[in-house]
Structure 1
Amino acid sequence: MKVSTVTAPGTTELLDVEQPQPGPADILVRMRACGICGSDALYISIGGVPPRQGCTPLGHEPAGEVAHVGAEVNGVSVGDHVVINPMAAPSGIIGNGGATGALADYLLIENAVRGLSFEVIPDHIPWEVAALNEPMAVARHGANRCNPKPGDKVVVFGAGPVGLGATLAFKSLGAGHVVVVDILARRLDKALQIGADAVVNSTEENVVERLIELHGEGEAMWPGKAGTDIYLDAAGAPAVVNTALAAAKRHATLGVVGVHKEQVPIDFVNIMSNEITVTGSMGYPDEIFEVTKDLVENWEKYALIVSHTMPFDKVGDALELAATPGVADKVVITFP
């Protein structure tokens, strides 16, 4: 079979490898779709993930069809459609420095346990939507880390896949009003389509003033703060942190799920005096299959997050497309 592999800095190849042989505790999954993540571009640029630099299999957003079920595995049958937890693999995180990657014809799930390493989904869910399960779990964890309460007023910065997923998560968790901020009009249009209550183009509007219009004024040590309860940075830009803290009222929460590539100076006097909570978010300790139910129930909305689907034999072109800023939202590889 073939697997997309980082073989040198800036280089990926479709390598021929032996198809894995499942044991009695394993399942073998025929890949049907796998999303491309922003981290894939990072792994390619640095030549792979230690200790597998020079030979790092890619792909950690998998969905597929069960091709073989080991005798000791329960709750799944050949032909079932499944989504997979990349972090549960005993040989290392799938597509993130582990021994296997999901941008491959087949994926071996070792020590397979339903609800821990994989979950079965209905057959009517499109494969490209099923492949969103992993990044939507990242978004769900980001929302959960902010501890939203029913009725909370929320703003999500960044209308990429994780930001849109977080918007859906906040709505699912009972947020009363969700605003999405971005610099691209087409992404803001998509945010409205999936259910955002309002959007702000930060290149055209003053974000703080607009939030005050939408959420009212909030109590704070100094005037001019918005009534927003939760700010989620899904963009990873210093301007987002600065804007959120400039707007934040007393007891507001700032969550950070976007990856920052440079340090951001923070005014701690503001954080102290207004008792602002700042919380980070990484991965999905508990959300990988928590999000699956919502994905299945609202798959038509989640489907809007996918901007491009490309066949596996064009995976090199797809990786390049996904790494080009502002051109694509979520790129998903599909398999014959």
Structure 2
Amino acid sequence: MTTTSTRITARPSTMRSVRTGPVGMVEVVELDRPVCGPRDAVVRIRACGICGTDAEFLRMGGIPFGPGGSMIPLHLGHEAAGEIVELGAEVTDFQTGDHVVVSGHGHPSGLIGCGGALGGMREYLLVEDAASGANLATVPADLPFDIAALNEPMAVALHCVNRSEARPEDKVVVFGAGPIGLGVLIWLKLRGVENVVVADVRTERLGTALRLGADAVIDSGAEDVTARLTDEHGGAVNALGQSRAATDIYIDAAGAPAVFDAVIAAAKWKAKMVMVAVQKPSATIDLAGMLRSELTLIASQGYPTEIFEAAPALAEHREKFAHLISHRIPFDEVDRAYALALTPGAAEKVIVTFDDPR
């Protein structure tokens, strides 16, 4: 699948924004720069990440909000970081020049880049009803914008770890060493969890996991997952006394049906499984196998509170989080950035960077 965009150089009173085009394509459109209301802030976007959700919107050709469920264009981008260039008279939480990260939530016009009227993959973003801890938060001025743009996906990973209630003594395995899975690994180790194994089918991802502190890695496409987990975490039994791995917590950051199969085959009595990945369709789930282990299934969606809890650690441990970025692409080549994100195996985390303000 390929992407394309129309080359536009915005005039001083206008800006460029990226939206979905025909299926598999993006369009760069010229819009008026936002007008700041008394309770608003205008953020000059300096970096914005591309998420798997963006790729799904591109594959659909928009969102089904038109007549009869027809597709309409969607302004993309919800992993944005930048600097405040204009403030409304009633805004007291910020100053112009502040470096900030943007939450997709808390905007009257809807979710940023996920169905609302505005997207973060643009040169200037209007943040309506700007408020600290609601839709904006400041970050240190020396934090690179590309790393700051990881705040949103790392909040997703942090919520997953919080949902797991992992303790230092727990033995954990993370399936999927993409940006979210590796973010989960980082948060687990920062939480003090002593034994974290990462499983994936791609050796280069497993190498990154080891560099980020994984205690062991498993090539789940070539190795016996249950046997390897038993080697790493020790042996235990399920409710029927059948031999199982002593793993306490299984985290699914892959979303593949094979993960469920692997977990149910390995899970001991009272193990937990946390789903953070978008789940791909599965024909069957072995519910009887879940029963035999009394497996607790926990869903982890988004970041109810973690969106701004992540920012301080992101700044403190920036060197670790920087390993998650595989590509930094300038906004003038945004079509190439989305093409990379849409091509399986071509990139891990793509961050689009913006030139200095004109």
Q: Same fold (TM over 0.5)?
A: yes
1:165 to 177, 180, 183: 183
2:312 is matched with: 293
User: Aligned partners of 1:273 and 1:11: how far apart in 2?
Assistant: 47
The answer to whether 1:244 aligns with 2:263 is yes
Identity of aligned residues (%): 47
2:173 to 138, 143, 155: 155
The answer to whether 1:2 aligns with 2:21 is no
User: Aligned partners of 2:243 and 2:257: how far apart in 1?
Assistant: 21
Counterpart contact for 1:48–1:97, Cα < 8 Å: no
Counterpart contact for 1:158–1:180, Cα < 8 Å: yes
Counterpart contact for 2:36–2:86, Cα < 8 Å: yes
1:18 is matched with: 32
Instruction: Give the unaligned 5+ runs of structure 1.
Output: none
Counterpart residue identity of residue 331, structure 1: V
Question: Secondary structure of the residue that 1:322 maps to in structure 2?
Answer: helix
Counterpart residue identity of residue 284, structure 2: P
2:325 to 292, 303, 306: 306
User: Aligned partners of 1:159 and 1:264: how far apart in 2?
Assistant: 24
Shift of 1:258: 1.3
Matches within 5 A, 1:87-106: 87-106=105-124
User: Aligned partners of 2:202 and 2:280: how far apart in 1?
Assistant: 21
1:271 to 282, 286, 290: 290
User: Aligned partners of 1:273 and 1:157: how far apart in 2?
Assistant: 22
Counterpart residue identity of residue 244, structure 1: V
- Note the alpha carbon deviations across 1:122-154, whole angstroms, 9 max, x for none: 011111110000011111112222221232110
Instruction: Give the unaligned 5+ runs of structure 2.
Output: 1-14
Question: Secondary structure of the residue that 1:17 maps to in structure 2?
Answer: strand
Shift of 1:16: 0.3
Aligned residue-pair number: 336
The answer to whether 1:224 aligns with 2:243 is yes
2:43 is matched with: 29
Counterpart contact for 1:8–1:54, Cα < 8 Å: no
Counterpart residue identity of residue 24, structure 2: G
The answer to whether 1:178 aligns with 2:192 is no
1:49 to 47, 57, 63: 63
Shift of 1:273: 3.0
Counterpart contact for 2:104–2:112, Cα < 8 Å: yes
Counterpart residue identity of residue 294, structure 2: E
Counterpart contact for 1:179–1:196, Cα < 8 Å: yes
Counterpart residue identity of residue 207, structure 1: V
- Note the alpha carbon deviations across 1:147-191, whole angstroms, 9 max, x for none: 212321100000000000111121222322111001111111111
Output the TM-score relative to the length of structure 1.
0.97
Question: Secondary structure of the residue that 1:16 maps to in structure 2?
Answer: strand
Output the TM-score relative to the length of structure 2.
0.91
The answer to whether 1:86 aligns with 2:68 is no
- Note the alpha carbon deviations across 1:168-220, whole angstroms, 9 max, x for none: 12122232211100111111111111121111112332111011011001232
Which moved further from structure 2: 27-36 or 265-274? 265-274
Matches within 5 A, 1:130-149: 130-149=148-167
User: Aligned partners of 1:44 and 1:191: how far apart in 2?
Assistant: 29
Question: Secondary structure of the residue that 1:255 maps to in structure 2?
Answer: strand
Counterpart contact for 1:155–1:228, Cα < 8 Å: yes
- In structure 2, the CA distance between the partners of 1:265 and 1:134, relative to structure 1 (3 Å rule), is same
